[in-house]
Amino acid sequence: MSGHLIGVPVSQRAFLGVSALLFAVSAAVTIVGAASMSAMGEMPMPGGWTMSMAWMRTCGQTWPGLAASFLGMWIVMMVAMMLPSLVPMLWRYREAVGGTGETRLGWLTVLVGAGYYCVWTMFGVAAFPVGAALAALEMELPALARAVPLAVGVIVLIAGALQFTEWKARRLACCREVPGRCPGLSGLHRLPTRAAATAWRHGMRLGLHCCYCCGGLTLILLVAGVMDLRVMAVVTAAITVERLAPHGECVARVMGAGIVGAGVLLIARAVVFP
């Protein structure tokens, strides 16, 4: 690794070091949080599946307390899951606006990252009440609970099919900053200003494109196991590979085929073993 960093400015090496530390800390906290959630057990539901405690209050816990707990874990989880694909985008940003001084460049980078994760935080804020409301309905209505395995299969199938669409290809091009496919991002090197407001807006724009691009994969995470480390690892790998691997569109379609196959299997299982 040290050989690859020869000739890299000190500020860039510091950026990589801080990013690695942030990933390690967020991943460790995510693992501990998921293990703690797993130790609390899951609620068996009609239809042969179990509901995560992420959507249910524990004894004495209030709804605001549950929402705060979910959002805290969501933010930490998103940092761990999205940082591997965000770091290259931050690196390109730093190269594009370099020459501002190391301290200022560092703060601008922080603002871009903060804007990016602000968008993902809002995603979690929107997801929690929907998930909690559905969980409450499923506990009250056994017929609805029995339909969940089939619904999960359908959602996974749709998420896989989304990987083949031109819409997905355009969103992925924006995240990969392919010239000509997303002018707002590919023209980053021509940014007329390096102000803090520009950095924040750029981070939010990256976050929005990322949410659009990863919407299907994130939905799989939410329905298949929001605190399941195995699901988190698979989704993280899928997001990172389609962003960073050569020929990302082809990679996305190959993964889409696998996701479609998983959706079909889940549907078949739900139909055969209701």
In terms of residue numbers, what domain contains 40? 7-272
Q: Model confidence over 71-95: pLDDT tens digits?
A: 999 999 999 999 999 999 898 888 8
Per-residue pLDDT at 204: 93
- Report the SS3 class of residue 205: helix
Residue 187 resides in a domain: yes
Give mean pLDDT, residues 194-217: 88
Q: What sign does the CA torsion over 209, 186, 161, 153 have?
A: negative
Q: Model confidence over 140-182: pLDDT tens digits?
A: 999 999 999 999 999 999 999 999 999 998 888 888 764 444 5
Nearest to 239 by CA among 252, 230, 226, 229: 252
DSSP 102: H
Is pLDDT above 50 for 2? no
Residue 2 resides in a domain: no
Q: What is the count of structural domains for the chain? A: 1
Per-residue pLDDT at 42: 76
Query: Position 169: which residue type?
Result: A
Find the helix packing angle between 102-140 and 63-96, rounded to 10°. Answer: 150
Q: State the Cα–Cα distance between residues 274 and 272, nearest whole angstrom.
A: 6
Residue 246 resides in a domain: yes
Burial 86-125 (b: 16+ CB within 10 A, else e): bbebbeebbeebeeeeeeebbebbebbbebbbebbbebbe
Per-residue pLDDT at 161: 95
Which tokens is 169 given? 């290809």
Interior CA angle at 272 toward 271 and 274, to 5°? Answer: 65
Is pLDDT above 80 for 11? no
Is pLDDT above 80 for 3? no
Q: How confident is the model at residue 1 (pLDDT cuts 50, 70, 90)?
A: very low
Contact by Cβ (8 Å): 23, 113: no
Give mean pLDDT, residues 181-199: 58
pTM: 0.86
Instruction: Give me the residues paired with residue 43 across strands.
Output: 51
Query: Position 46: which residue type?
Result: P
Q: Model confidence over 210-267: pLDDT tens digits?
A: 999 998 999 999 988 788 888 899 999 999 999 888 888 899 999 999 999 999 999 9
Q: State the Cα–Cα distance between residues 172 and 194, nearest whole angstrom.
A: 26
Q: State the Cα–Cα distance between residues 101 and 235, nearest whole angstrom.
A: 37
Q: State the Cα–Cα distance between residues 207 and 123, nearest whole angstrom.
A: 10
Residue 1 resides in a domain: no
Residue 57 resides in a domain: yes
Helix (H) or strand (E) holding 182: none
Residue 76 resides in a domain: yes
Residue 36 resides in a domain: yes
Residue 198 resides in a domain: yes
